[in-house]
Structure formats: structure tokens, C-alpha cells
Chains A and B, each alone.
Chain A
């Protein structure tokens, strides 16, 4: 049981680490993804979709 808990904790920390690193990595300049403002994607959890909904 203890190895499992330790292992899962390590995995969660690994995920949080990569998430924070990715969040702090700036996207290339002029790479604001305007392609997402299309009807192709149905992911309404996406921040761009939410922005789009607020604008409209």
C-alpha cells in the first residue's frame, strides 16, 4: 500500500511540475492561436472558447 501511495504522489508531483513549467513557458510571439476561433473544436472547457462566448 505504501509504495502505491508514494508512487502516485510522485506521479502527481511530476504532473504538477510539468504543468507549471508549461504554464511558465511563453508561447512564441504572434502565436496567439486564432485557429481555435473556429467551429471545428467542441471543447467548451477551452479558455479561447470561453473568451469567444463572452465576446459574443
Chain B
């Protein structure tokens, strides 16, 4: 397995298969927490934190517990519970360890429990069968890299979208388009731009 695999995993999950604009996962925080750039960055950082850890834990849980016990059908519910537990754990650790980090991420950490992008990436890492392609532990590295790339992609579109929305606040938008309509049109145009990257990686 060469380094190209990791590069392709990051590039592909960040830009080509962007979690928000191509897979339409995590649209709730994309629209709800993107009015201000600071909030968008805070949410992105919290998502990145949890998404990578959730991908790591859920992959190991699936291959080391669910597959040997032949109970793969409880995958979704177990991933939901793992993500919810991780969010609680991460919030608790942040409370104890870093006052500064808690101030910047505290509000957003709890919201991540309901972010379907986290669950989507965890499930996709399993359906992509990285373990079958590369072996159990190299597959784990690819899965975590994919999650990291997806989180970077989430952060990228959150930052870009929130910046555009901030500029739209002060611009001369027709009355009927103000607020949500122009935001949705902007999101659509951004999705078209990202769709243009399709096919770069085979």
C-alpha cells in the first residue's frame, strides 16, 4: 500500500465526494451554524475532532466485535450509541483539560450527536470494505484518513459558505430572496462547483 492511497483518500473525501455538497450529509449544521464564520469554524473543529475518533472506534468495533459475534445487523444502532458516548466523553475531557477549548467548542460538541455526517462516514468506512482491500489495520489507517479528509471537506464548505453568507448580509439582495432562499441558491451553486471535480480520481 503506497502513500498514494492516503492522498487519494483525503483528496477524494474532501473535495470530490464532499460530505455536505455531494452526499448531502450534515446539511443541518451546514445551514444552521453558518451565519457567522466564527461559529462555522467552531463547529468544523468539533466535527473534525469527533469524526476522526468515531471512524477509528466504529471501524474497530465492527471488525473486532460485531463480525466475530456475527451481529453485523446491529451496526447502525451501535454506531449511533458509540458516537453519542464519544461526544459525552469528549465534552467531559474538554471540560477538565482545556478551558479555552471548552469555550470555543463547548456549544457545538453537544450538537454533533445529531450530525448524520459522523454516522455516514463511519458506515461508509465499513461499506467501502477497506479491511478487505488493504487488510484490517492498514484499512483502519485508510478509514481514519478518509474521515479526516471528510472532516476537512466539511470545514472547507462551512468556512466558504459562512463567509459568503456574511457578505450576503450586507449586499443588495432582492427582498424575496433575502435569508434562506439566497442561502439555498448559494449552496446549490457551491454543489455544482464541487460536482465539477468529479472524475479526477477514478
- Cα A33 to Cα B101 in complex, Å, equals 12
Chain B 75-127 residues near chain A, CB threshold 8 A: 77-78, 81-82, 84-85, 88-89, 91-92, 95-96, 99, 102-103, 106-107, 110-111
- Cα A55 to Cα B197 in complex, Å, equals 48
Q: A25-B96, A28-B95 are in contact. Are A39 and B35 (CB under 8 A)?
A: yes
- Cα A25 to Cα B92 in complex, Å, equals 7
Contact A18 B88 (CB under 8 A): yes
- Asked if B39 lies at the interface with its beta carbon under 8 angstroms from chain A, I say yes
Q: A21-B92, A39-B35, A43-B111 are in contact. Are A7 and B106 (CB under 8 A)?
A: no
Minimum C-beta distance from B28 to chain A (A) = 8
Contact B73 A31 (CB under 8 A): no
Against B, the Cβ 8 Å flags (1 = close, 0 = not) of A21-32 are 110011110010
Contact B102 A28 (CB under 8 A): yes
A-B contact pairs, 28 of them (CB 8 A): A4-B71, A4-B73, A4-B74, A7-B66, A7-B69, A7-B74, A8-B81, A11-B77, A11-B78, A11-B81, A11-B82, A11-B85, A15-B81, A15-B84, A19-B85, A25-B92, A25-B95, A28-B99, A31-B99, A31-B103, A33-B107, A35-B103, A36-B107, A38-B36, A38-B39, A40-B36, A41-B107, A43-B111
A residues sitting closer than 8 Å to B (CB atoms) are 3-4, 7-8, 11-12, 14-15, 18-19, 21-22, 25-28, 31, 33, 35-36, 38-43, 46, 48
